[in-house]
Amino acid sequence: MRMTVLILAAALPAFAQSARGPIIDVHVHSRLPEQFAGGAPPNPATGLPGKAGTADELLRQTIAAMKKYGIVKGIVSSGFKPLESIAPWLDAAPGLFIGSCGIATNGMENGPAVETVRSEIAAHRIAVLGEIGAQWAGINPADERLEPYFALAEELDIPVGIHTGLGEPGAPLHGNPNFRAALGNPMLLEPVLIRHPKLRLYLMHAGWPFLEETKAILHVYPQVYVDVAVINWAIPRPEFHEYLRALIRAGFEQRIMFGSDQMFWPEAIGMAVEGVDSASFLTRSQKRDIFYNNAARFFRLQ
């Protein structure tokens, strides 16, 4: 594994040669122009306006940030018009992004039909399902309405990313009335994992703050990985580091993947990288696993 990564790194373009080595960001979001109609929301960590004021600026600045920090691949998705939203990103930087299809982020009625998803996979326009935003739609992730998507992913051996854990403060009271904190508990996914034993699933946001439940799922179901997107920059750093340390201490260092959850704020990419890189308890080898090796294995990018 280590030798494979070194060989791949040697063949990467110059921008990928950073002190940290190449990075895979498993959690990036695209946007369409109409999503900037009211202006971009402030960065939740800094409270400052986002640096991108349009969808085109967000795309350009995201690519620039990825190059700056040595991110050589990004899994890009959107919950808003998911297939339409990711197309400009795939076209703008061929080979940099892998398309992922959002499901249930704004309710089941707004997502693509299963057969449409199958066609998009067959056409190699998407290779991942996610973000599955059942929690935002007020849907239990084991709900039968999601079952056809999980079945399709298992059938075609397509990895699935699902939102777990947190939402922004006040989410159900301000703009997301169906969001429920309890629906982010990773334990709710156990029926899905039993029905689909070959499903490659990753828990977005690493299930925070459901630490014990996340560890239980990871222990019992070795096909499950996690990403640390958004918790590596939007919650207090000591809390993130303690959560990450607990997952490492529990033996899951080879199933933790880097993600930024870049939404409207390209500057979040650097903040996310620094959030992991500043964890002094991580060895160099553990950082390489989180930044690259684990995602390369999970998404079969070697």
Of the ranges 39-43, 79-83, 210-214, the best mean pLDDT one:
210-214
Confidence of residue 111 (pLDDT cuts 50, 70, 90): confident
| Per-residue pLDDT reduced to its tens digit, 232-286 | 999 999 999 999 999 999 999 999 999 999 999 999 999 999 999 999 999 999 9
First to last CA, the chain: 9
CB within 8 A of 6, min separation 6: which ones?
A: none
The answer to whether residue 134 scores a pLDDT higher than 50 is yes
CA 62 to each of CA 67, 161, 177: distance values in angstroms, whole numbers, following the listed order: 9, 21, 30
pLDDT at position 60 over 60? yes
Which band of pLDDT confidence, cut at 50, 70 and 90, is reported for residue 50?
confident
Is the pLDDT assigned to residue 178 strictly greater than 50? yes
pLDDT band at 10 (very low <50, low <70, confident <90, very high): very low
**What is the C-alpha R_g of the chain?**
18
Strand, helix or coil at 145? helix
Q: In angstroms, what CA-CA distances link 57 with 64, 65, 185?
A: 10, 12, 35
Evaluate whether 229 touches 241 at the Cβ level (below 8 Å).
Answer: no
163 burial class (0-12, 13-18, 19+ CB within 10 angstroms)?
A: buried
**Residue 20: pLDDT band with limits 50, 70, 90:** confident
Which domains are present in the chain? 26-298 (3.20.20.140)
The single-letter code of the amino acid at 164 is T
To the nearest 10 degrees (0 to 180), the angle between helices 267-277 and 55-68 is 30
- Quote the pLDDT of residue 13: 38
Q: What is the DSSP string of 22-57?
A: -EEEEEEE---GGGGTT-PPPPTTT-SPPS--SHHH
Whether the pLDDT of residue 7 is over 70: the answer is no
Residue 201 above 90 pLDDT? yes
Query: What is the pLDDT, as a whole number, of residue 15?
Result: 36
The H or E element spanning position 73 is strand 71-77
Q: What is the DSSP string of 232-251?
A: TTSS-HHHHHHHHHHHHHTT
Q: How far apart are CA 224 and CA 202, in angstroms?
A: 5
